[in-house]
């Protein structure tokens, strides 16, 4: 059953499975993930939202269907070790306070969110624990340790629908993110929307553009064979359109992360996904 989409695409002679219409993918362990659903009302220019998995080739899609075949799990394993490792002046590990990582089920689906008037991402939560409770150095935003940890914590929510709050305290951050999404920047004078809203499913050179959903981050990319943070990906996009990228972890990317996450409200958390 798990290869049915791949077989269909091969039969059609397609290079990717974009022509597939399945609303979900099924992992080897039987878990079902929503990859296609109605767009949330605040995403007024889309009628349907689709996971980036849909736009990938059969072989790349297959890598995500089995946690053993998925190379991201090498890093999830590293995250498990890090979770138990004591670090910093207080002699604590993550596990000292949060005994079971499973207790984080649901967290990823609601991130980023506003806490005490500030927009915080998963990376902020991790580094806050490290500096405030463990007396340890903060991890680099897109470094191997941070992405291993955010993959491990995110995995606990896999299969749950993304559902970030965009009203109340979150509203001004969401508006700022939306503004960034539609603002043309860089020498190529392009906004996120030009590729990921106006042209998803179309080819950019030999590749399919996706909707730019972030429900699978951190994601293992074949390109660099490691886990990639969403902010790292935003940076890549901005470089490609010859703009000066904002800083990872800065206010702009955090607001953009909230806005993009909200465009995926209803898709399953896919962390850790596999992409090109």
Partner 1 sequence: MAKGVKPRVRVPKKAAAGEIITIKTLISHTMESGQRKDADGNIIPRSIINRFTCDFNGQNVIDVTIEPAVSTNPFFEFEAKVPESGEFKFTWYDDDGSVYETSKPITVG
Partner 2 sequence: MTLTRRKVLALGAGGLALAGLGLPAWAAETTEEAIASFTGGAEMGEGLLTLTTPEIAENGNTVPVEVSAEGAASIMLLATGNPLPNVATFNFGPLAGARHGSTRIRLAGTQEVMAIARMEDGTFQKASATVKVTIGGCGG
Cβ pair 213, 50 in contact under 8 A: yes
When CB distances are held under 5 to 8 angstroms depending on the partner's kind, the choice from partner 1, partner 2, none that residue 1 binds is none
CA dihedral 221→227→232→237, nearest 10 degrees, is 10
| 187 part of the interface to partner 2, by CB under 8 A | no
When CB distances are held under 5 to 8 angstroms depending on the partner's kind, the choice from partner 1, partner 2, none that residue 206 binds is partner 2
DSSP string of 93-152, one letter each residue = -HHHH---GGGGTTTGGG-SEEETTEEE-HHHHHHHIIIIIS--PPPPTTSHHHHHHHHH
Q: Which of residues 126-145 bind partner 1 (CB under 8 A)?
A: 144
When CB distances are held under 5 to 8 angstroms depending on the partner's kind, the choice from partner 1, partner 2, none that residue 56 binds is partner 2
| 77 part of the interface to partner 1, by CB under 8 A | yes
Alpha helices by DSSP H, the chain = 4-11, 58-65, 72-84, 94-97, 122-128, 144-155, 171-181, 192-196, 230-240, 251-263
When CB distances are held under 5 to 8 angstroms depending on the partner's kind, the choice from partner 2, partner 1, none that residue 51 binds is none
Question: Nearer to partner 1 by C-beta: 68 or 206?
Answer: 68
Pairing, β 219-221 against β 274-275: parallel
Concerning whether 129 is annotated as a catalytic residue, the answer is: no
Question: Nearer to partner 1 by C-beta: 142 or 262?
Answer: 142
Residue 175, class by beta-carbon neighbours within 10 Å (0-12 exposed, 13-18 middle, 19+ buried)?
middle
| 78 part of the interface to partner 1, by CB under 8 A | yes
CA quadruple 64, 275, 162, 98: dihedral sign: positive
Question: Nearer to partner 2 by C-beta: 7 or 97?
Answer: 7
Of the candidate spans 87-95, 121-129, 182-190, 232-240, the one that interacts with partner 2 by CB under 8 A turns out to be 232-240
**If DSSP codes are grouped into helix, strand and coil, which group holds residue 165?**
coil
CB of 57 to partner 2, least distance (A): 4
| 239 part of the interface to partner 2, by CB under 8 A | yes
CB of 219 to partner 2, least distance (A): 12
Interface residues with partner 1 (CB under 8 A)?
68-69, 71, 73-75, 77-78, 144, 225
């Amino acid at each position: 059953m798990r290869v049915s989409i791949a077989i269909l695409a091969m039969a059609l002679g397609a290079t990717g499975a974009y022509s597939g219409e399945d609303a979900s993918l099924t992992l080897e362990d039987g878990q079902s993930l929503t990859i296609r659903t109605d767009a949330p009302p605040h995403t007024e220019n889309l009628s349907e939202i689709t996971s980036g998995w849909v736009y990938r080739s059969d072989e790349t899609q297959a890598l995500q269907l089995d946690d053993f075949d998925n190379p991201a799990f090498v890093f999830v394993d590293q995250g498990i070790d890090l979770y138990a490792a004591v670090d910093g002046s207080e002699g604590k590990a993550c596990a000292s306070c949060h005994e079971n990582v499973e207790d984080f089920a649901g967290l990823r689906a609601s991130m980023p969110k506003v806490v005490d008037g500030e927009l915080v991402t998963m990376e902020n939560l991790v580094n806050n624990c490290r500096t405030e409770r463990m007396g340890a150095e903060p991890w680099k935003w897109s470094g191997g340790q941070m992405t291993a940890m955010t993959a491990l914590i995110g995995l606990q929510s896999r299969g749950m629908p993304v559902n970030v709050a965009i009203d109340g305290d979150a509203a001004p951050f969401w508006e700022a993110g939306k503004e960034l999404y539609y603002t043309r920047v860089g020498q190529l004078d392009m906004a996120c929307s030009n590729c990921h809203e106006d042209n998803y499913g179309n080819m950019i050179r030999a590749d399919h553009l996706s909707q730019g959903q972030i429900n699978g981050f951190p994601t293992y990319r074949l390109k660099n064979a490691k886990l990639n943070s969403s902010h790292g990906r935003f940076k890549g996009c901005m470089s490609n359109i010859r703009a000066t990228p904002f800083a990872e972890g800065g206010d702009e990317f955090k607001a953009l992360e909230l806005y993009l996450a909200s465009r995926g409200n209803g898709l399953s958390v896919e962390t850790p996904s596999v992409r090109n």
